[in-house]
Structure 1
């Protein structure tokens, strides 16, 4: 059954990967409209996250953002097969504009390694391809829910030579070694961490479990850190790749201070293009013990 599931999913990815960007985004918007129109979990989670994280918006503004966010989620779903199946050059041609690339040259001028933090904002698969085409790079990843897809995912994401490493002791040792050599490490920083490497820090005003890995890597290797994301342009015109500075205390030895700085850095990016953030992810579910789970008010953490 597992092999059958793999061939079915891989086949669907290849079919979707044959689409044009305009067609993929059009289909994605249709899926997003269904997620918005029907009583779906992504709609409920997105609505909860927006009400907590962006309370300054009026109800009408949040309703509009909810719809736009689910449309963006649908487009991302259909863009991923393009990034995995299209030739690399064709993918890179979608980057029509860049901002802040000079920050990378400045950060690495003295031979330091660089940690690129890429939240689930815009098209993060294209972000990874862009930087792996320019630097010796490794990226932290979580294995897919379908184990048979792991080899496929590693192959397509690493076709420019970048290495994908798991978040275990061996994988983190590889990241540290690469950074000491002046390489680049890519990390998706807005996921709920597993294991003991975490601290509770505010994310849009709510205390949530946050990874401390980035600060530890900075302390161990002397690496610097920058934020990055790839913004979707209108009318299937392509994408804009953005690099931004992170908050200065991200490398602090105080885990709460470091985690707070990282969450603030992520927030600054999200507020630039809030409709393109992955709001349907339950980022706020791991709170300090005794606090209410915002997605299930009958339960405490």
Structure 2
């Protein structure tokens, strides 16, 4: 089965994502790089990929728990799903042991999403991300800025770089 997939990503360092974007559009740039284009695509029953764990610093984000730490999380997915009646279906791609191929895992659509509480929706998204990274936490992008910006009055959670690539999910090193 083949589906057209739209992406909010304009450039990716992940070879798998870049390859998919090239095959779909002939480039790594998305033809839908704004919310209007994404909303239009979804209303036409299109498929859109949107990274919920990339921080946006504005009124469209809140701090929601992620592995026991408050993390900046976008409200956009909840709002887009409400406006378009779209399902939110988490997926993951995992690099195989040969370091050349990937396994794609499609998770069930989020239940009761969007809810009447956008902040609760952000927590649901974070739980989905937690499930996605569970098999390979060492491969998660722990250094993204959503952990560096803190709620007012909270101490930074940035610590020294680990000596090994593994990061314990119960004691994340950011």
Same fold (TM over 0.5): yes
Deviation by residue 1:245-286 (Cα, 9 ceiling, x = unmatched):
244244123121010000001001111222222223343112
Structure with greater contact order relative to length (CA < 8 Å, sep ≥ 6): 1
Structure 2: give runs of 5+ residues left out of the alignment. 13-17, 160-174
Of the three residues 31, 52, 71, the one matched with 1:189 is 52
- Counterpart for residue 230 of structure 1: 93
Residues 1:210 and 2:73 aligned together: yes
Pairing 1:169-180 to 2, within 5 Å after superposition? 171-180=34-43
- Counterpart for residue 162 of structure 2: none
More helix by share: 1
How many Å separate the matches in 2 of 1:247 and 1:173? Answer: 23
How many Å separate the matches in 2 of 1:140 and 1:290? Answer: 32
Contact 1:247/1:264 (8 A) holds in 2: no
State the shift of 1:205 in Å. Answer: 1.2
How many Å separate the matches in 1 of 2:113 and 2:70? Answer: 17
State the shift of 1:161 in Å. Answer: 2.9
- TM-score of the aligned structures, taking structure 1 as reference length: 0.45
Q: Secondary structure at the match of 2:147?
A: coil
Deviation by residue 1:131-179 (Cα, 9 ceiling, x = unmatched):
xx922221102568xxxxxxxxx9x93552387133xxxx111111110
Of the three residues 133, 154, 158, the one matched with 1:291 is 154
Residues 1:141 and 2:9 aligned together: yes
Deviation by residue 1:154-211 (Cα, 9 ceiling, x = unmatched):
9x93552387133xxxx11111111011100011111112322112210111112100
How many Å separate the matches in 1 of 2:156 and 2:51? Answer: 23
Structure 1: give runs of 5+ residues left out of the alignment. 1-132, 145-153, 297-301
Of the three residues 152, 160, 163, the one matched with 2:24 is 160
- Counterpart for residue 102 of structure 1: none
Structure with higher Rg: it is 1
Number of matched residues? 152
Q: Which runs of 4+ in 1 moved over 4 A?
A: none
- Counterpart for residue 220 of structure 1: 83
Contact 1:250/1:262 (8 A) holds in 2: no
How many Å separate the matches in 2 of 1:195 and 1:241? Answer: 32
State the shift of 1:237 in Å. Answer: 5.8
Deviation by residue 1:21-77 (Cα, 9 ceiling, x = unmatched):
xxxxxxxxxxxxxxxxxxxxxxxxxxxxxxxxxxxxxxxxxxxxxxxxxxxxxxxxx
Contact 1:200/1:210 (8 A) holds in 2: yes
- TM-score of the aligned structures, taking structure 2 as reference length: 0.75
- Counterpart for residue 141 of structure 2: 278
How many Å separate the matches in 2 of 1:255 and 1:237? Answer: 38
How many Å separate the matches in 1 of 2:5 and 2:117? Answer: 28
Residues 1:198 and 2:61 aligned together: yes
